[in-house]
């Protein structure tokens, strides 16, 4: 049981007959520069029960009246519980299928994860870890919303690396035996989502033991080519890490006033999340290329070469991709020169970590140089033709390389991968109590 990080929760859902297309609203950390998106959401919702009234869109975090907004959220939560707008289901998980315009739906399982098994500090060896660096300054304003709240709504998505598709996918062959919990269109271009309720029992036992098997040391070492020196990583937070970090910070506060026995099952110890297999067809891991502006290309290449040599690697500029096994290399383009930048014997596990570490060191010394993160290689090429610009083309990322990167290098560099466009992010539907 030492490696069991999940708990089958008692999920709360709106009462039968609620208009779920108005109830479900996108994660609060989306469209933060587009107040008009949220004004339109407010117009669509009107007076209907909605998760819009239970969350604080981050576009409003800096508003002067944010404190009264948070107070209103807390009151609405209590009202929804007291007047029966929200009902508590028996213990169970939710199997979800979300279509948002791609060629395949995103499939996942909503259950609770143990915050005792999660750490966001750099160098952490916990079983649940972030994929990207946690900006601790982002936690306090979010904590204000959670303190005084009686329930939580999840937009956290946690990735598992299950290439044989043993845990989530087989459940979709059994949806006929589960009751449908929701089946609704999502507002503002969000697509369509269906959810089936899986009551606690043999199916949830099978899910939990499948997840626990991801912690088998022998299998784990073989999968990533590592030794016992590397910490196990069955769960990587792909989306909503600051929401998870806030839940953790809140739990650390709450548990100070509890006995060890009370800590065991306190609702604030567990956070609702959607578990998604990184091998799900809907998850497209696209490389994100790097473009630099206001830079002397010759100086950049010299600085990078010196940086990697100082790190014990061999670095050089070549005309073509190297033959060397295990080298990380990056085609580059600029107005003056095109070529391939090569790093042999890299000390980082994945190419994006190698190049971004070098670029971060360069940018720290050259404050006037700007960097941008670009999705299409063709865009980088056209930008880099202009004098003073420089582009690096990054290689495709294999899905299990994301896990390897976190296992060997700690968190991934910023902008390593994207889990979809803004409208594909999680919408709030389920809730869970966080107070006794």
Q: Is residue 411 part of a domain?
A: no
CA atoms within 13 A on the CB side of 44: 20
The answer on 346 and 260 residing in a single domain is no
Q: Is residue 405 part of a domain?
A: no
The answer on 307 and 229 residing in a single domain is no
Beta-bridge partner residues of 235: 128
The answer on 53 and 10 residing in a single domain is yes
The length of the chain is 436
The answer on 115 and 47 residing in a single domain is yes
Which DSSP state fits 64?
T
Find all residues with CB under 8 Å of 227, minimum gap 6, and list them. 221
The answer on 101 and 27 residing in a single domain is yes
User: Residue 353 is inside which H or E element, if any?
Assistant: helix 351-365
What confidence score (pLDDT) does residue 48 get?
Answer: 98
The answer on 359 and 271 residing in a single domain is no
The answer on 299 and 272 residing in a single domain is no
Q: Is residue 126 part of a domain?
A: yes
Assign 333 to helix, strand or coil. strand
Structural domain containing residue 363: 289-396
Q: Is residue 204 part of a domain?
A: yes
Find all residues with CB under 8 Å of 381, minimum gap 6, and list them. 333, 391
CATH number at residue 328: 3.30.160
What confidence score (pLDDT) does residue 1 get?
Answer: 46
The answer on 156 and 54 residing in a single domain is yes
Q: How many domains does the chain have?
A: 2
Q: Is residue 407 part of a domain?
A: no
**Cβ neighbours around 259 below 10 Å, total:** 8
Rounded to 5 degrees, φ, ψ at 31 are 55, 40
Q: Is residue 402 part of a domain?
A: no
Beta-bridge partner residues of 158: 237, 275
What confidence score (pLDDT) does residue 52 get?
Answer: 98
- Give which of 241, 227, 224 is closest to 401, Cα–Cα: 224
What parts of the chain have a pLDDT lower than 50?
1
Q: Is residue 34 part of a domain?
A: yes
The answer on 250 and 297 residing in a single domain is no
- Give which of 147, 166, 269 is closest to 214, Cα–Cα: 166
136: tokens are 């601790």
Find all residues with CB under 8 Å of 225, minimum gap 6, and list them. 404
- Give which of 380, 217, 208, 391 is closest to 297, Cα–Cα: 391
Long-range contacts at 77-82 (CB < 8 A, ≥ 24 apart): 77/149, 77/150, 77/151, 78/150, 80/49, 80/54, 81/12, 81/150, 81/151
The answer on 90 and 19 residing in a single domain is yes
The answer on 343 and 221 residing in a single domain is no
Assign 117 to helix, strand or coil. helix
Q: Is residue 412 part of a domain?
A: no
The answer on 362 and 229 residing in a single domain is no
Furthest C-alpha separation in the chain: 70
55: tokens are 């969350």
């Amino acid at each position: 049981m030492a490696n069991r990080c999940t708990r089958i929760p008692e999920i709360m859902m709106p009462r039968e007959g609620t208009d779920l297309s108005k109830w479900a609203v996108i994660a609060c950390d989306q469209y933060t520069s587009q107040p008009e998106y949220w004004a339109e959401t407010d117009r669509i919702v009107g007076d209907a029960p909605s998760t819009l009234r239970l969350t604080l869109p981050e576009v409003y975090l800096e508003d002067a009246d944010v404190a009264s907004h948070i107070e209103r959220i807390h009151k609405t939560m209590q009202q929804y519980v007291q007047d029966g707008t929200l009902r508590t289901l028996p213990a169970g998980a939710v199997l979800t299928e979300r279509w948002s315009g791609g060629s395949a739906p995103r499939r996942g399982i909503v259950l609770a994860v143990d915050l005792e098994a999660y750490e966001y500090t750099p160098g952490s060896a916990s079983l649940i870890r972030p994929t990207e660096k946690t900006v601790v300054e982002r936690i306090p304003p979010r904590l204000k919303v959670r303190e005084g709240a009686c329930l939580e709504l999840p937009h956290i998505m946690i990735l598992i690396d299950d290439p044989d598709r043993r845990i989530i996918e087989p459940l979709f062959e059994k949806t006929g035996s589960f009751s449908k919990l929701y089946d609704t269109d999502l507002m503002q271009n969000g697509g369509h989502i269906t959810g089936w309720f899986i009551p606690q029992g043999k199916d949830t036992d099978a899910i939990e033991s499948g997840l626990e098997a991801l912690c088998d040391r022998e299998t784990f070492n073989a999968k990533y080519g590592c030794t016992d020196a590397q910490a196990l990583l069955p769960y990587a937070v792909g989306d909503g890490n600051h929401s998870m970090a806030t839940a953790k910070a809140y739990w650390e506060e709450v548990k100070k006033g509890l006995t060890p026995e009370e800590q065991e099952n306190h609702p604030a110890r567990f956070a609702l999340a959607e578990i998604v297999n990184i091998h799900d067809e809907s998850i497209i891991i696209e490389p994100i290329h790097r473009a630099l502006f206001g830079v002397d290309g010759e100086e950049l290449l010299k600085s990078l070469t010196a940086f990697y040599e100082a790190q014990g690697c061999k670095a050089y500029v070549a005309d073509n991709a190297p033959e060397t096994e295990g080298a990380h290399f990056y085609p580059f383009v600029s107005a003056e020169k095109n070529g391939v930048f090569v790093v042999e014997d890299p000390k980082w596990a994945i190419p994006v970590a190698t190049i971004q570490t070098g670029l971060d060191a360069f940018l720290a010394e050259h404050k006037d140089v700007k960097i941008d993160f670009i999705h299409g290689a063709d865009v980088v090429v056209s930008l880099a033709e202009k004098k003073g610009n420089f582009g690096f083309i990054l290689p495709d990322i294999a899905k299990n390389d994301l896990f390897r990167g976190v296992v060997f290098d700690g968190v991934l560099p910023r902008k390593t991968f994207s889990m979809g466009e803004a409208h594909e992010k999680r919408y709030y539907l389920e809730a869970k109590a966080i107070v006794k």
